[in-house]
Amino acid sequence: MARATFSLDEATIAEIRRLAERLRRPQSHVIREAVADYAARTDRLSERERRQLLGVLEGLRATRPTRTAKEVDAELKTVRQARQAGGRRHGTA
């Protein structure tokens, strides 16, 4: 296991010591669990981030298409044909 040195304020140190004593665990265990818990919580979107992303999706949904579905399908067909032909490296010339 790696050793590390951190500078923490007195209140945080006191809380770590109090928790370690109450849980009858080493201070390093308390810190490891706190970091794991924090990481698990921050891997999810915050309410603000969720609302922001929903706003973006709602904006996209409200945007009118600039091309018809037929035009999009035609472009996709052209792209697929180009990819199947090998792209720029395998030109017909």
Distance CA 48, CA 21 (A): 36
pLDDT of residue 23: 95
At 88, the amino acid letter reads R
Q: Is there a contact between 30 and 23 (Cβ–Cβ < 8 Å)?
A: yes
Distance CA 31, CA 91 (A): 60
Q: pLDDT tens string for the chain (93 positions)?
A: 888 898 999 999 999 999 999 999 999 999 999 999 988 887 788 889 889 999 999 999 999 889 999 999 999 999 999 888 876 666 555
pLDDT of residue 66: 92
pLDDT of residue 42: 78
Distance CA 66, CA 54 (A): 22
Domain regions of the chain by residue span: 10-86
The pTM score is: 0.48
